[in-house]
Amino acid sequence: MIFQQIVNEESGCLSYLIGCGEAGRALVVDPGRDRVPEYLRLAAKKGLTISHILETHTHADHISGNRDLAAMVRAPILVHRAAGVAFEHEDLSDGAEIRIGTVRFTVAHTPGHTPDSICLLVTDLSRGEAPWFVLTGDMLFVGSVGRPDLGGARAAEDAWESLHRVLLPLDDSVEIYPAHGAGSACGRAMSAKSGSTIGFERRFNPALQIRDRGAFVDFLMRDLPPKPPSFEKIVSKNRGLVSLVAAKPRPYTAREAWDAVRRGEVVLDLRDPATYGEMHIPGAVNVWIESPQFAERVAGMVPAGVPLLLLAQGPSDLDQAVQALSRVGVDEISGFLQWGMIEWRSEGFAVESVPQMTVHELAEWLEQGREITVIDVREHSEWLEGHIEGAVHLPMLEAPARHAELAPDRPKAVLCAGGLRSSTAISALKRHGLQGWYNVTGGMSAWKRSGYPVVRSSSDPGASPRT
């Protein structure tokens, strides 16, 4: 057997190439749109032809590369019959088997995360009849289980049944390989490990410690983070209900960009927070190209369907951005500023800035009782681990929709874990006319390292009106 796990560290997505060297064929599982050339290179390097393409479920966090890959290798796309896709494919059902040489893949329908979710039990028949490992899709993660967004409590009950019917009866030694790891929005508190065993998860996975169905459902439904706004759009594209297009941005002069912004196009500023803060185009959304989950953050923060103009520090950043954004279905990229801020400034167009504030300056302001609202844009679990007393909790992806909760002109110091998400949140909130921003460099990590006090709570009070 040939087994290759392909890790996308930016998004936490995991895909697989599994085949038989003697047969010279392989199956690719959960391909990403931005990794198709990599699958082709890997297969060629190992002397394999890709003969099958399989999806463990309809993904909501990234665009699948199944159709692009199928067009290149002329292999069938296999999905569970409950997926309801509108493109050419072959349906799978519970118990179906796929044979590639001495490798046997057995399909187990495991609804919960989605109605069409499957797990794939993989057996190397040259070793024996028992499964060696299982590809768990988004049913079971290392340290977590899939969030039941699509079906609510009913889906959580389905997840309980799927786990106890298919996965938990397996031997402790069976390895598990999920479709996502740390950094993905498809689960909570996932481990950075990319594989585990049934025995390890049975012993240490919090969700699997729960013995009662009702308590399990309550656990899965409690404190679910909001679905990123791009999920529905991505699902529609992955089902073939919305056409896939390829972005072809063209160079814009500063004058053309100024006209485009006046028409409603949005500048996506790919520069680091300090450079953005020093001088930027009014209304630009700032997501640093080197940010973790860059594409996912853009998809969650830019207005859906609005054409984007990219502002970068170099050509390689532009190429990287276009490729990454294609993974999450953000293809409405009309162009890029050919000469960046240099030409924009020389033409005399308006610019804005966001002062950067150190944690020491913030602590001094608070000690002096100066007028300032501290806004924490980290996730719920991060907030509960410790935050600044009196801070307002406004998770980054929720910030634009909750802008009315903030006073327009009161000074506001925004922080996250390190200073990247805070700059993104500020840029999105500035588009709603709010002023008085300071980006706290180093964020809560620097605050804690400096020994400044934090408070912990068991609940999240949310933002107070007009703070």
Other Cβ atoms closer than 10 A to 369? 7
Task: In the chain, count H helices and then E strands.
Answer: 15, 22
Segment among 141-150, 310-319, 371-380 with least mean pLDDT: 141-150
Residue 231's pLDDT band (cuts 50, 70, 90): confident
Bridge partners (DSSP) listed for residue 134 = 121, 176
Residue 182: the pLDDT is 65
Segment among 357-366, 403-412, 444-453 with least mean pLDDT: 403-412
Residues 334-393 have pLDDT tens digits of 999 999 999 999 999 999 999 999 999 999 999 999 999 999 999 988 999 999 999 999
For residues 194 and 142, what is the distance between their CA atoms, to the nearest angstrom?
7
- Is the pLDDT confidence value at 303 over 90? no
**Token pair of 434 as six digits:** 């709010």
What's the whole-number mean pLDDT along residues 313-328? 91
Residue 458: the pLDDT is 59
Residues 173-208 have pLDDT tens digits of 999 999 998 655 555 555 568 899 999 999 999 999
Other Cβ atoms closer than 10 A to 210? 16
∠ at Cα 49 (45, 55), nearest 5°?
105
**Token pair of 334 as six digits:** 């009309």
pTM of the model: 0.83
Residues 235-280 have pLDDT tens digits of 999 999 988 888 899 999 999 999 999 999 999 999 999 999 999 9
Q: Which of 66, 20, 14 is nearest to 47 (CA)?
A: 20
Residue 466: the pLDDT is 38
DSSP state of 324: H
What domains sit in the chain, N to C, each tagged with a CATH number? 2-221 (3.60.15.10), 245-346 (3.40.250.10), 356-449 (3.40.250.10)
What's the whole-number mean pLDDT along residues 16-44? 96
**Token pair of 385 as six digits:** 């681990």
Segment among 106-120, 319-333, 348-362, 421-435 with least mean pLDDT: 319-333
Residue 184: the pLDDT is 52
